[in-house]
Structure 1
Amino acid sequence: MDPLHTLGKINSPDQARNLFAAKLDSIQSAKIAKIKHPDVLVRIANAIALCRPSNVFINTGSEEDKDIIRKIAIEKGEERALAMAGHTIHFDLASEQGRIVDRTYYIAEPEDLVSSLAKRMLPENATKEIETHMSGIMENLTMIVGFYMRGPVGSPAANPALELTSSAYISHSAELLYRNAFDDFDHEVEQKGYFFTNIHSEGLNRTEDLPHARVFMDRKYQTTYAWKCTYAGNTLLLKKGNHRFAVDKAVYRDRGRELSEHMFITGINGPGGRTTWCAGAAPSGCGKTTTAMAGNVFIGDDLAQMWIARDGSIRTINPENGIFGIVEGVNINGDPLLMKVLRQPGCEVIWSNVLVDKDFKPHWVGNMEPVPETGINFQGEWHQGKTNDKAEPIPISHPNSRCTMASENLENYSPEAANPDGVVTRIFTYSGRDADTMPPVWVAKTPDAGVVIGACIVSATTATEVGVTGIKRAPWANAPFIPGALGDYMDAQFKFFNNPDIKEPFKPVMAGLNYFLTHRARGGNSDKLLGEKQDVKVWLAWLERYAHNEVGYLSTPIGNLPCYNDLAELFDQIIDKAYPRSLYDMQFALYTVKIIQRIELQQKAYKNEEHLPEKLFKILAAQKSALMDLKEKVGDVIMPDYFENLT
């Protein structure tokens, strides 16, 4: 059962054109006439028949069309103009500041394998829900129809996708984050044989409606539905909604040849003028944008799609060409290039959920600037000292406040981002918000061990998900976006990184990153970071040299660790900073009890999953056994010099 076809009842291109003739004015009719692919026309027509908008606007991506969308967003009140030209502010509902994971469902038959970490609903039940809530939901509203590519046009890993929404804010965001491919859409759909469809209406945008908000994802018909919600993670369905479909494609259609990951893509300069490309996974809110910017040039800060090319290399593209980035903690010291865009005129930026002062200037937590006395933020009027109903101070901005912009505005954005052949990617990192266990960087000894690093990400939860707290496992930082069985996804990872078509010069370096380790975890009494945010530049630089066999390493049960002398030299070269041996010892000592507990957490959790590759358990068991032997032999804490003496 295809809910859109069932409810829209448009069966042919001729029926679609008849509906367009009745619903579209002459200007919009002339635009849609340029789209010829029958499946695309039928899909759009069914969405119109279901939602019954009063007007339909076809967005071709022209400057004129984009300007109309900006004006609609302001006129509707979805955005407000700020003091700086091209800057606007959008406020989400106070109780919808993240992904509504508790109201997000896959449409699935009983026999369909769905991730154990996700919710599901039968097609007939989902169809009734969609009919009840979306039938006529756009009456007295305008449906904006956009035609996008998730990736450069012509790339083998790019996805064509339709975005149909009543929200001008969402269309405005899509124009900054994705490539409008109106002129190439037919050809791309014909070449690839599929496209994604996304249907969203923000409804009445009232707090009382939010319990009834839903996000549905139909994997079989590659269609997403969302209503009565405004936060972009729930409504900009081109992003994480379609990322799920791309994951499905990699796991079930192209297993072992392609991956779709929750990863940044950044380029690290090395000796001789070379650039080595790195892709890295981290849960939302755990520093992905910061790490992307820590490279010398970057392509993306959130999503990556990769495949094995004919030359035996792993190639990567970013399905986006913009940033929907968390701004909390962004400041001139840690993020100078991003701050230049945010605080200097000449760029288009959509802000969300920050504080706007009386001069229409945005402010946020951690920007290292003076805090205004009053303003308007995510919960309404604000003043210094304001508290909530629990007498807790209300911060000037929500932890999940964002900025949306085109990546080309950033000075370090690489022209390679537009290359449909992607970039040769040598390094893959996996990280979370780990305050007390793992060292800042460690490298897997084999591709299989690298896959296990990704499978074992543990992180403190962040503000990107509504109603989720505490410490949790975050496999590959991709778990919320894995539609099928986790065992299938893991098998795809093992098959991809062990694919014999990957040639020796391009063998991947797979590593763990952790720059959230605290003083308290290493014997201190402070929760301050054991190091600084900028140190990640050094960890990346060391991995770049490691990929080219230019540094040594210490072999340990969890993987290979950097040698002190290499790091001290890189700290001096890369960030002009001294790196005392005492800090190295604190950061790279192995606290065996903590690491063993971390392994046991994974063993227990994965034991409940079905059809998991057995090599996961073998690798975890081997690491645990080696750590227990060391603990018995040396003690609870193994200092780096123990491993130095073994080399």
Structure 2
Amino acid sequence: MALDQEPDIPFYEVHEVVVPHLGRVPITKGDFHALPKKVQKFIAFYVDYMTPRGIYICDGSEHEAHEVITKLMERGTLERLEALENCYICRTDPADVARVESKTFIVTKDKYQTIPHSKPGAKGGMGLWMDPDEMKIEMDSRFKDCMAGRMMYVIPFSMGPIGSDLSKIGIQLTDSNYVLLCMRLMTRVSPKVLDILGDQDFVKCVHSMGCPRPWRRKVINHWPCNPEKVLLAHFPEERKVKSYGSGYGGNSLLGKKCFALRIASNIARDEGWLAEHMLIMGVTNPKGQEFYIAAAFPSACGKTNMAMLNPSLPGWKVRCVGDDIAWMKFNEKGELRAINPEYGFFGVAPGTNWKTNPNAMASFQKNAIFTNVAKRADGMYFWEGLEDELPDDMEVTTWLGQKWKKGQPGLTSHPNSRFTAPASQCPIIHDKWEDPAGVPISAIVFGGRRPTGVPLVFEAFSWEHGVMVGAAVKSESTAAAEFKGKSIMHDPMAMRPFMGYNFGHYLDHWLSMNKPGRKLPKIYHVNWFRVNEKGKFLWPGYGDNIRVIDWMCKRLSGEAKVVPSPIGNLPEKGAIDISGIEDQVHWDELFSLPKDYWLEDAKETRQFLEVEVGDDLPAEIEKQLVEQEKRIAAM
């Protein structure tokens, strides 16, 4: 038997599932008999294992959502935002507010399928592995009877347009109807998924809040969870995720990072494509030429803002295909085609406002769920960054349930509070965002928060150099990460928390994309966050980032000239249109490359890769490191 394979167990195809230990378990909603055989067996095994009081087969309909919302409002889990249409606020237990990277594991027989052959002194930051036998003990101590007294919700969903050759299907079992509501926004939940599944394999997603009834731990904010026992396990060989104890975000919405990145990256490696933590955008210049760009930034570093850019240059048009995850595959013409596997936006709320991201704001003015934000007395949401819209005398209830008014100390919303909304409501959603064939990617962009030393933008010399640039991505840590502080953290390819297999093998996979007949995208690195000696940003950012994208597109068209530098091709001075913001931009400072800084940066990057990736570091990446070190030394 494979690592976490369910054995066949007997059951009857009626409106009750018969399992060895429970007898008959009622089907509260749906037709169990109509499910594909593989799905029936999957459900039957976990009904026996987790012992729910009933089974609720979801269809993703409006009627179903209304029924669940009504129940959660009666319970107190959801509260209506009266100022908006069909919008609700939810406050979690304060112990359940973020990703649980330190409790997130990949389970494989061979340890080095998951993590690199790192050297002494490695921090193990490129994924956590657990032995299958050890994980089985941990899983059994948690999941056995974990749904006692609770309903099991069966959620059939598609990541990507239903029926697309680039899409994949999942089935999630959960005892949280809040998760059902959010999965309905973030994935395509529909009976059509089951119609096309047939005998195909599907990704198995099993989630429990870890609170079987009777539950004696105090429930805070009507939010059942079990933070002391949280565990998130991935079984790539079985295409399975099991999550216990947390109801928050990607810990419970298993279609997100767990499926769409960690499991999908394994599938992508096996099938020859890429599953990446990237936005996808279409940009059209004043001549009517459209380019598609994929960009990878660590969480809370501006992916959503870039995907929904409101350009400051006249004549430019930006349309959003996706703001967080990209699945990319070369077609028979050699084009790299990309889809957004998600169906909604799960964005960081603080800092989002009508100035920084009006398109994101417009996306969640109806049919949205807000988690751990504050509520104004007039029935509107509130968080840090919306102070200009808050009347001075307006009372606010914080995410912790405390009363607050403008000018008082303290945060009203958790720094990682979120909005969840349908992507279709974005005013600049691309008309091809659900095209089954995907969109053709011309450029890939990496970036992060780098306060010093790193220029606004540079272009990689080659595909191989670009992969090295991606492997060297660093960023100031943000509220989305479990680890806090203002330290600069390595986040290779912006995939550090989401790596599904050995990072050295992952880099090999990227390098293998360079094959004859393929139209490889150009690779860039951007840094919107460089500051001067006084800590002031050197680049205005937001809508003015279109000026950098303008330069990239001119490079793709062969129009713009570059100046080679030790780290890549820089824009020729004046090549970026800064008309109207000349007084804000000091070109030489923005593009300076302090030699001492880059000598130290190259040394530190090499140390990170040699220690963390060790013997699995591809020879080509080593070659690129050596060549760049020589160029920097000769500055």
Verify same fold: TM over 0.5.
yes
Q: How does 1:394-543 map to 2 (within 5 A)?
A: 394-469=410-485, 470-496=487-513, 498-502=514-518, 506-520=519-533, 525-543=534-552
Q: In the alignment, is residue 613 of structure 1 matched against residue 618 of structure 2?
A: yes
Task: Write the letter of the residue equivalent to 1:85.
Answer: E
**Any conservation in 2 of the 1:4–1:50 contact (CA below 8 Å)?**
no
SS at match of 2:234: strand
Q: Which runs of 5+ in 1 are unaligned?
A: 388-392, 631-647
Task: Write the letter of the residue equivalent to 1:49.
Answer: D
Q: CA deviation at 1:71?
A: 2.6
Distance 1:335 1:582 in 2: 22
Counterpart in the other structure of 1:177: 186
**Any conservation in 2 of the 1:198–1:224 contact (CA below 8 Å)?**
yes
Q: In the alignment, is residue 598 of structure 1 matched against residue 605 of structure 2?
A: no
Counterpart in the other structure of 1:641: none
Distance 1:311 1:88 in 2: 46
Q: CA deviation at 1:246?
A: 0.4
Distance 2:77 2:104 in 1: 23
Counterpart in the other structure of 2:369: 350
**Any conservation in 1 of the 2:208–2:244 contact (CA below 8 Å)?**
yes
**Any conservation in 1 of the 2:599–2:632 contact (CA below 8 Å)?**
yes
1:627 corresponds, among 615, 626, 632, to 632
**Cα displacement string for residues 228-273 of structure 1 (whole angstroms, at most 9, x for unaligned residues):** 212112111111111211001122x12xx30000000001112431
Distance 2:593 2:112 in 1: 42
Counterpart in the other structure of 1:644: none
Distance 1:23 1:144 in 2: 17
Task: Write the letter of the residue equivalent to 1:283.
Answer: P
Shift in alpha-carbon separation, 1:449–1:45, aligned structure 2, 3 A: same
**Any conservation in 1 of the 2:538–2:590 contact (CA below 8 Å)?**
no
Distance 2:378 2:406 in 1: 20
Q: CA deviation at 1:485?
A: 1.1
**Any conservation in 2 of the 1:13–1:39 contact (CA below 8 Å)?**
no
Task: Write the letter of the residue equivalent to 2:266.
Answer: D
Q: CA deviation at 1:398?
A: 1.5
Counterpart in the other structure of 1:381: 402
Shift in alpha-carbon separation, 1:620–1:111, aligned structure 2, 3 A: closer
Task: Write the letter of the residue equivalent to 2:228.
Answer: P
Q: CA deviation at 1:25?
A: 4.6
2:389 corresponds, among 369, 387, 403, to 369
Task: Write the letter of the residue equivalent to 1:383.
Answer: W
**Cα displacement string for residues 452-486 of structure 1 (whole angstroms, at most 9, x for unaligned residues):** 11111101111112244422100000122112211
Q: CA deviation at 1:219?
A: 1.6
Q: In the alignment, is residue 202 of structure 1 matched against residue 209 of structure 2?
A: yes
Shift in alpha-carbon separation, 1:536–1:125, aligned structure 2, 3 A: same
Distance 2:93 2:413 in 1: 13
Distance 2:393 2:455 in 1: 39
**Cα displacement string for residues 144-196 of structure 1 (whole angstroms, at most 9, x for unaligned residues):** 11111111123222110011111111111111111124223353454xx4211
Moved more, 65-74 or 411-420: 65-74
Q: How does 1:278-357 map to 2 (within 5 A)?
A: 278-294=293-309, 296-342=318-364, 344=365, 347-357=366-376
Distance 2:368 2:529 in 1: 29
**Cα displacement string for residues 299-333 of structure 1 (whole angstroms, at most 9, x for unaligned residues):** 10000000000111000001102100112111112
Task: Write the letter of the residue equivalent to 1:213.
Answer: V
Q: CA deviation at 1:553?
A: 1.5
**Any conservation in 2 of the 1:308–1:501 contact (CA below 8 Å)?**
no
1:269 corresponds, among 280, 284, 300, to 284
**Any conservation in 2 of the 1:352–1:403 contact (CA below 8 Å)?**
yes
Task: Write the letter of the residue equivalent to 1:325.
Answer: G
Distance 1:487 1:195 in 2: 27
Task: Write the letter of the residue equivalent to 2:582.
Answer: Y
Distance 1:588 1:303 in 2: 30
Task: Write the letter of the residue equivalent to 2:396.
Answer: G
**Any conservation in 2 of the 1:58–1:144 contact (CA below 8 Å)?**
yes
Shift in alpha-carbon separation, 1:28–1:440, aligned structure 2, 3 A: same
Distance 2:149 2:27 in 1: 19
Shift in alpha-carbon separation, 1:73–1:599, aligned structure 2, 3 A: farther
Counterpart in the other structure of 2:262: 244
SS at match of 1:247: helix
Q: CA deviation at 1:17?
A: 8.0
Distance 2:147 2:192 in 1: 27
Distance 2:29 2:18 in 1: 9
Distance 1:311 1:559 in 2: 29
Aligned residue pair count:
599
Distance 2:527 2:153 in 1: 42
Distance 1:20 1:153 in 2: 31
Counterpart in the other structure of 2:379: 360
2:155 corresponds, among 130, 135, 146, to 146
Distance 1:249 1:176 in 2: 24
Distance 1:221 1:386 in 2: 53
Moved more, 81-90 or 11-20: 11-20
Distance 1:300 1:419 in 2: 12
Distance 2:285 2:240 in 1: 43
Counterpart in the other structure of 2:243: 226
Question: More relative contact order in 1 or in 2 (CA 8 Å, sep 6+)?
Answer: 2
Counterpart in the other structure of 1:98: 98
Distance 2:281 2:557 in 1: 17
SS at match of 1:215: strand
**Any conservation in 2 of the 1:247–1:481 contact (CA below 8 Å)?**
no
Q: CA deviation at 1:63?
A: 2.5
Moved more, 180-189 or 330-339: 180-189
Q: Which runs of 5+ in 2 are unaligned?
A: 116-123, 212-217, 310-316
Identical-residue share of aligned pairs (%): 24
1:545 corresponds, among 554, 560, 569, to 554
**Any conservation in 2 of the 1:142–1:166 contact (CA below 8 Å)?**
yes
SS at match of 1:273: coil
Distance 2:393 2:529 in 1: 29
Distance 1:424 1:385 in 2: 47
Greater helix share, structure number: 1
Task: Write the letter of the residue equivalent to 1:233.
Answer: G
**Any conservation in 2 of the 1:72–1:168 contact (CA below 8 Å)?**
no
**Any conservation in 2 of the 1:16–1:45 contact (CA below 8 Å)?**
no
**Cα displacement string for residues 506-537 of structure 1 (whole angstroms, at most 9, x for unaligned residues):** 331100011011122xxxx1344532322212
Distance 1:215 1:200 in 2: 9
**Any conservation in 1 of the 2:393–2:406 contact (CA below 8 Å)?**
no
Shift in alpha-carbon separation, 1:156–1:466, aligned structure 2, 3 A: same
Distance 2:201 2:596 in 1: 50
**Cα displacement string for residues 517-572 of structure 1 (whole angstroms, at most 9, x for unaligned residues):** 1122xxxx13445323222121112212211112122121211112233312xx44
Counterpart in the other structure of 1:645: none
SS at match of 1:604: helix
SS at match of 2:389: coil
**Cα displacement string for residues 472-503 of structure 1 (whole angstroms, at most 9, x for unaligned residues):** 1000001221122111000001111x12231x
TM-score (norm 2): 0.89
Distance 1:206 1:320 in 2: 31
Q: In the alignment, is residue 122 of structure 1 matched against residue 144 of structure 2?
A: no
